Structure 1
Amino acid sequence: MASSLSPSSTSAIVADVPAEPAAAHAYIPASALGGRVEQIFRPDGPLAASVGHYRLRPQQREMALRIADAVAENRVFVAEAGTGTGKTFAYLVPALLSGGKVIVSTGTKTLQDQLFTKDIPLVRGVLNAPVKVALLKGRANYVCHYHLQRSLLEGRFLTRDDATYIQRIARFAAITGTGDKAECPDVPEAAPVWGMATSTRENCLGQECPNHKDCFVLAARRQAQEADVVVVNHHLFFADVMLKDEGSAELLPACNTVIFDEAHQLPETASLFFGESVSTAQAVDLARDTRAEALTDARDCLDLPPACAVLEKAAKDLRLAVPLDPARYSLAQLARFPQFESALDGFEAAIDHLAAVLETQAGRSEGLKNCWERSLELAALIHKWRSGVPGEADETAFSEAPAPDAKQDGPSDKATPVEHIRWAEAYTHALQLNATPLSIARIFRRQMGGHPRAWIFTSATLAVQQNFTHYCAEMGLWEVETACWESPFRYDEQAILYSPSGMPDPNNPAYPDAVMNKAWPVLKAARGGAFFLCTSLRAMRRIHELLKARIEDEGLDIPLLIQGEGSKNELLDRFRLLGNAVLVGSQSFWEGVDVRGEALSLVVIDKLPFAPPDDPVLSARIEHLNKAGRNAFIDYQLPRAVINVKQGAGRLIRSETDRGVLMICDPRMVDKPYGRRVWRSLPPMRRTRDEQVVVDFFTDGRD
């Protein structure tokens, strides 16, 4: 199986060879901060004395020491820590002891809340550290007094639930100290009515807002400015800090350390925010807000309502110019839709017309002025997308990162425009036009420049066989320190990796049926308690259909859940409560899910999660790499798939007492030469192709 992942420090660009083993106790901290951290993690130290059920892990201790030195010396450090290492404590202890301002960025708002309400208070108490901590989220998470009051006055709600929820939000706004909608249990976080009670960057009135002094967003940002530790999520970090959007752009200059947890998500998130996009939904929102402002301050302007109606129709026509099913389209594909170009012309003309009308009314109120400015911004974005001209922020950015074997110490100083990939994504009711950088490497590297500070990147899944080449090249991290720590779990005793024999080609139309046939005996032996992680929504729906029929035919008492029946958190709560359920999911459940104990003892992965090669962004990057003489599959597609497999596999064993089977059905993991890189990157489980071995594993475990 996989070789033991010993701690190792390497250049960002290294050969794909196993690291030399090193004893965990051999590392000696160089900094004074490291010495303090070492005391905290001693067997008789404060953590062991204060935290119930705390177990000293050599991997955690050494990781904390390496992070402490990186913080003390303002270095870049990339660390992979296997599940159960305790990486959260490993970075929080040196962060809270460092004495500088720290930004901790996590993958999701759920992880933000866990850090802020549980992990940081615990560590702060253990250290007796007088650090001030702030939680900062995007503005859509905070009640906006202005938009809430406007919605209450208008009283235009699509459903009875919305009308009820808006009253509950109003009561919440009157008593809350933060305005954070996560603290309003009476209204679901996913309720559409929240959009009527919060602001966006586009419709915020800023200092001209009549409720400016009471603004919850500004209050949260003031607290962040004053705090020693600020907890954000990756989306907010890139939107507000890196791109210097209004609000928290002052955080980064004052910061001494940036820590990215779940750092494997950064390439995708950065690509999103280093690009530009414009959506028909933005136009519909603009029309709605303009109509509302006109009712209050420009009733006598008879041109505004029809201009809004024209824009709404143009937005709808543009969405209908592409097929109805949600999908992604390249620029070449869009050009082949006969109605697309004319619909885009109409959309652009409708925005220009509304902007012209709004210009005549902008002086009548701040709300109308804001709508006019938004219309101009939308018009500019549409024009830039159509012409392929990069935004101002991109004109001095850097171009594609060098190949991993490039003979240079770092990026060139020469600034050249970034090449963008233009494409579109169709949602159920909207079409979004995107311009995505071909590479984010040099853009991100440039953003890291300036004031000296430490940058820490950590996750359970960053490397391919201990090799960080792919990740570091994507992020523009040249000549940085890297290290891997294996999980303390006993995978050889706790888990089996099962690759069933006799599977058809993954492109066979009957492949989901074959997955079901091979997984059914294992599922019955496990008596439920399973995740089916699918690489497509079509496969997810088919496997769910087959499972439902089998369970009903055999009269088994196994509850069946599927992604989409409720929110992710609701489904997970039901899954844990039921104890023997089967959950069929797609991308949402491959990561960020923690189910411990017998409730989850089987994880089935239908295919190796290669991104669809016809995805417009991936296709352009593949073409670019191949033109540069590189092997796009080996250098780019395979490493991404390996990291995703590691994420899915990480759902199985979450504690020292968990037992389970990871079933990867894709025959390419065994039949193809590159398959070795997949399973060698996974934790050192026992491996088998024998179904009976797996069945016995479950039945023996119940004896």
Structure 2
Amino acid sequence: MIAKFFAAGGALDKAIPGFQARQPQIDMAEAVADAIQSDGQLVVEAGTGTGKTFAYLVPALVSGKKTIISTGSKNLQDQLFHRDLPLMKDALGFSGRVALLKGRSNYLCLDRMSRQITESHGVHTDPKQLGQMVQVRSWSSSTKTGDLGECADIAEDSPVIPLITSNNDNCLGRECPSYEDCFVVKARRRAMEADVVVVNHHLFLADLAIKETGFGELIPEADVFIFDEAHQLPDIASQYFGQSLSSRQLQDLAKDIEIGYRTEAKDMRQLQKTAERLHQSASDLRIVLGEPGFRGNWREVVNSPAIQREITRLKDALELTHEVLKLALGRSQLLDAAFERATLLKARLERVCDTTITGYSYWYECTPRHFSLHITPLSVADKFHEQISEQGGAWIFTSATLAVNDDFSHFSERLGLAPKRQFSLDSPFDYQQQALLCVPRFLPEPNSFGIADRLVALLAPVITANNGRCFFLCTSHQMVRELAEGFRAALALPVLAQGETTKQKLLEEYLALGDALLIATGAFWEGVDVRGQALSCVIIDKLPFTAPDDPLLKARIEDCRLRGGDPFSQVQIPDAVITLKQGVGRLIRDTQDKGALVICDNRLVTRPYGSVFLQSLPAIPRTRDVGRVGQFLSSVNGQQEPEDTEEQHTEA
């Protein structure tokens, strides 16, 4: 039944120029259709190029059942909704309704925008910020969705965005004067009425964990749940089944109290004073927590005298805020909502400071301006399994990276799944002909002194011979900085480094230059799709084991030990294998692509566990000789004509 849509002369063949059915794609589509029919669980690892998006969209659309599709990021969500779904709707003649639903912080809040513009006419106005708000107000009169991603006048990381959007803490709900025009309410109504709803993992899991009013009503009505890029789910689920408190939440509350004072309760000067004290207390705690970019064990530091002193001051500031807001009850909707938030944040601060409750990891994280305190359950398997059991229906999980040496237990057990089927589909790419893998000889041990200089000396000739067109994927920001400095001194080619601009701009610059080396970490290991010879060499500095002092990893190691397992083989190696597979997947993105992969870590061949990594990767010819990489790339570049370069785009 499903196979006919993919067959020659079938619906997809007629609608999509150059479409060619692949047996793995048909196998996956039939497995998805079977899971939907039987309300079962399915786990599918679909190698790069399999065509998994069409393989789950076709059976979902023809099933006639209400379907929620969750993706790994907002950009992938937009790509699915604006590109892939319309194509499939036309091909299949699907007449049902589809909807895109994002978290509320992506939609303009008309009430908060109005309050901010009113408040911004005061003495503390930032002219640039006010100018951006005026541009947004102009755009708001023409937008149908209110999705700020569609507003070209402000950057995605603009500091204005948190001021003109709402979150669960500060939304006034039905009490809001703009409720009937609310873009979030309208988006949710469309989703309630739709046959297919596209969300992202963060939104789905936030709803699953807290049953947020509005979106929480969506999930019980769905019959089919499909998760693309499902390898991200366990870590994201850990965030949402725990609790957290951040300085941003505290300072947002302080900001709203000040706006309430300036616009609706000018006779209550104590509102401004308590807002200033709350803001200052949050800032002071951030300072004593240490360096930005650091994750630490909250249990270990919470009882230190310096931290205790600032926690006491923050508790006192929250208590004062609570009491002053109680006096203001009934003065305005904004201040009434602020009172409820202060009550919630008081309770949350008490909870995160009680580190005696077992079964959780307690950790904190610092950015240059903010801190966040977290309680994360050691395992989310029981909670996720419970939610699946309550919801019923079909649950389908797919990604290019789910299995470790053909074993899915690492993924399935973390989510408490009991899939009826779980299998891998090989990529259609001919890695024997298209790629070469090199693990160079005579490498120093990872983390040894001066390793960045050794890697620059070893690999600069390869990068030069390839005329750039190379990603160097690192496991730390420190290595990115050291390699960028070294390669800029050694190469005549452009060297781009993550952290110097946004991910999107960095990728655009890389593609525009055509001969650059791009050095990056985390964000570039997955979700980036550069096709053709614009990227013909990917270098990885070492096996991507998570730092052993990472508090989330420590929690999972502790949980594994409590269950009588071996944390290194059951937690650390599988995590590193999945991440490595994602990084390797950047190289070959099309049947015409060719390129070399260099992994600068001797442990692949000197340690017993190296075989687990190698057997989990595609069957790429291997060498220890860096010289052979240069020869391979020279032959590839000699054969490649300029007009063969494929279109490039990003999925991330």
Is 1:294 matched with 2:265?
A: no
What is the correspondence of 1:473-622 to structure 2 with a 5 Å cutoff?
A: 473-551=413-491, 556=492, 558-622=493-557
Per the alignment, residue 68 of structure 2 pairs with: 103
Q: How far off its partner does 1:324 sit?
A: 2.7
Per the alignment, residue 406 of structure 1 pairs with: none
Q: 2:210 aligns with which of 229, 238, 243?
A: 243
Moved more, 180-189 or 77-86: 180-189
Given the superposition, is the C-alpha separation of residues 479 and 129 from structure 1 closer, same or farther in structure 2, using an over 3 Å criterion? Answer: closer
1:324 & 1:484 partners in 2: Cα distance? 43
2:456 & 2:475 partners in 1: Cα distance? 14
Contact 2:231–2:401 (CA<8 Å) still a contact in 1? yes
SS of equivalent residue, structure 1 residue 328: strand
AA matched with 1:585: A
**When the two structures are superposed, what TM-score results if normalisation uses the length of structure 2?**
0.95
2:182 & 2:189 partners in 1: Cα distance? 11
Per the alignment, residue 351 of structure 2 pairs with: 384
Given the superposition, is the C-alpha separation of residues 273 and 627 from structure 1 closer, same or farther in structure 2, using an over 3 Å criterion? Answer: closer
Q: 2:392 aligns with which of 452, 457, 468?
A: 452
Is 1:656 matched with 2:585?
A: no
Is 1:369 matched with 2:336?
A: yes
AA matched with 1:127: L
Q: How far off its partner does 1:627 sit?
A: 4.3
Contact 1:581–1:599 (CA<8 Å) still a contact in 2? no
SS of equivalent residue, structure 2 residue 197: strand
Q: How far off its partner does 1:487 sit?
A: 0.3
Q: 1:81 aligns with which of 15, 37, 46?
A: 46
Q: How far off its partner does 1:119 sit?
A: 0.1
Is 1:699 matched with 2:634?
A: yes
AA matched with 2:157: A
Q: How far off its partner does 1:204 sit?
A: 0.9
Q: How far off its partner does 1:185 sit?
A: 1.2
SS of equivalent residue, structure 1 residue 368: helix
Given the superposition, is the C-alpha separation of residues 159 and 432 from structure 1 closer, same or farther in structure 2, using an over 3 Å criterion? Answer: same
Per the alignment, residue 649 of structure 2 pairs with: none
Contact 2:379–2:559 (CA<8 Å) still a contact in 1? no
AA matched with 1:474: R
SS of equivalent residue, structure 2 residue 245: strand
CA deviations on 1:241-267 (whole Å, 9 max, x unpaired) are 443112211111110100000000001
2:125 & 2:600 partners in 1: Cα distance? 45
Which 4+ residue blocks in structure 1 deviate beyond 6 angstroms? none
Per the alignment, residue 92 of structure 2 pairs with: 127
Q: How far off its partner does 1:626 sit?
A: 2.8
AA matched with 2:76: L
Per the alignment, residue 277 of structure 2 pairs with: 310
Per the alignment, residue 168 of structure 1 pairs with: 135
SS of equivalent residue, structure 1 residue 113: helix
CA deviations on 1:343-388 (whole Å, 9 max, x unpaired) are 1111111111100110110211111100000000000000111124
1:675 & 1:477 partners in 2: Cα distance? 28
SS of equivalent residue, structure 2 residue 530: coil
Given the superposition, is the C-alpha separation of residues 337 and 511 from structure 1 closer, same or farther in structure 2, using an over 3 Å criterion? Answer: farther
Contact 1:241–1:251 (CA<8 Å) still a contact in 2? no
Given the superposition, is the C-alpha separation of residues 159 and 511 from structure 1 closer, same or farther in structure 2, using an over 3 Å criterion? Answer: farther
Is 1:52 matched with 2:26?
A: no
1:158 & 1:326 partners in 2: Cα distance? 30
Given the superposition, is the C-alpha separation of residues 336 and 668 from structure 1 closer, same or farther in structure 2, using an over 3 Å criterion? Answer: farther
SS of equivalent residue, structure 2 residue 166: coil
Contact 1:438–1:621 (CA<8 Å) still a contact in 2? yes
AA matched with 1:227: A
Q: CA RMSD in A?
A: 1.4
Per the alignment, residue 25 of structure 1 pairs with: none
Q: How far off its partner does 1:316 sit?
A: 1.3
Contact 2:188–2:214 (CA<8 Å) still a contact in 1? yes
CA deviations on 1:590-647 (whole Å, 9 max, x unpaired) are 0000001111111111011111111122113213323443210001110000000000
1:509 & 1:352 partners in 2: Cα distance? 50
AA matched with 2:61: L
Contact 1:535–1:609 (CA<8 Å) still a contact in 2? yes
1:651 & 1:479 partners in 2: Cα distance? 29
Per the alignment, residue 325 of structure 2 pairs with: 358
SS of equivalent residue, structure 1 residue 77: strand
Moved more, 470-479 or 357-366: 470-479
Contact 2:596–2:629 (CA<8 Å) still a contact in 1? yes
Q: How far off its partner does 1:699 sit?
A: 1.2
What is the correspondence of 1:150-169 to structure 2 with a 5 Å cutoff?
A: 150-155=115-120, 159-169=126-136
What is the correspondence of 1:132-147 to structure 2 with a 5 Å cutoff?
A: 132-147=97-112
Per the alignment, residue 643 of structure 2 pairs with: none
AA matched with 1:90: A
1:452 & 1:625 partners in 2: Cα distance? 29
Which runs of 5 or more residues in structure 1 are unaligned?
Answer: 1-34, 391-417
Contact 1:322–1:337 (CA<8 Å) still a contact in 2? no
CA deviations on 1:511-533 (whole Å, 9 max, x unpaired) are 22222222212211211001111
Moved more, 274-283 or 477-486: 477-486
Q: 2:310 aligns with which of 343, 347, 350?
A: 343
Q: 1:227 aligns with which of 194, 205, 209?
A: 194
AA matched with 1:443: K
Per the alignment, residue 177 of structure 1 pairs with: 144
2:243 & 2:472 partners in 1: Cα distance? 35
Per the alignment, residue 248 of structure 2 pairs with: 281
Q: How far off its partner does 1:162 sit?
A: 2.1
SS of equivalent residue, structure 1 residue 260: strand
AA matched with 1:533: L
Contact 1:562–1:583 (CA<8 Å) still a contact in 2? yes
**When the two structures are superposed, what TM-score results if normalisation uses the length of structure 1?**
0.89
Sequence identity of aligned pairs in percent? 43
Q: 1:673 aligns with which of 604, 608, 611?
A: 608
Moved more, 478-487 or 252-261: 478-487
1:151 & 1:463 partners in 2: Cα distance? 49
Q: How far off its partner does 1:565 sit?
A: 2.2
What is the correspondence of 1:22-41 to structure 2 with a 5 Å cutoff?
A: 35=1, 37-41=2-6
AA matched with 1:325: P
AA matched with 2:63: S
Q: 2:371 aligns with which of 431, 435, 452?
A: 431
AA matched with 2:193: E
Q: How far off its partner does 1:159 sit?
A: 4.6
SS of equivalent residue, structure 2 residue 397: strand
Which runs of 5 or more residues in structure 2 are unaligned?
Answer: 639-652
Contact 2:42–2:419 (CA<8 Å) still a contact in 1? no
SS of equivalent residue, structure 2 residue 634: helix
Moved more, 561-570 or 73-82: 561-570
Given the superposition, is the C-alpha separation of residues 519 and 166 from structure 1 closer, same or farther in structure 2, using an over 3 Å criterion? Answer: same
Given the superposition, is the C-alpha separation of residues 336 and 365 from structure 1 closer, same or farther in structure 2, using an over 3 Å criterion? Answer: closer
Contact 1:241–1:248 (CA<8 Å) still a contact in 2? no
2:599 & 2:565 partners in 1: Cα distance? 29
Per the alignment, residue 66 of structure 1 pairs with: 31
Contact 2:227–2:398 (CA<8 Å) still a contact in 1? yes
2:367 & 2:526 partners in 1: Cα distance? 23
2:309 & 2:14 partners in 1: Cα distance? 70
1:520 & 1:460 partners in 2: Cα distance? 31
Per the alignment, residue 93 of structure 1 pairs with: 58
AA matched with 1:373: E
Q: 1:321 aligns with which of 288, 303, 309?
A: 288
Per the alignment, residue 10 of structure 1 pairs with: none
CA deviations on 1:302-353 (whole Å, 9 max, x unpaired) are 3211111111111111111121332111134314744111111111111111
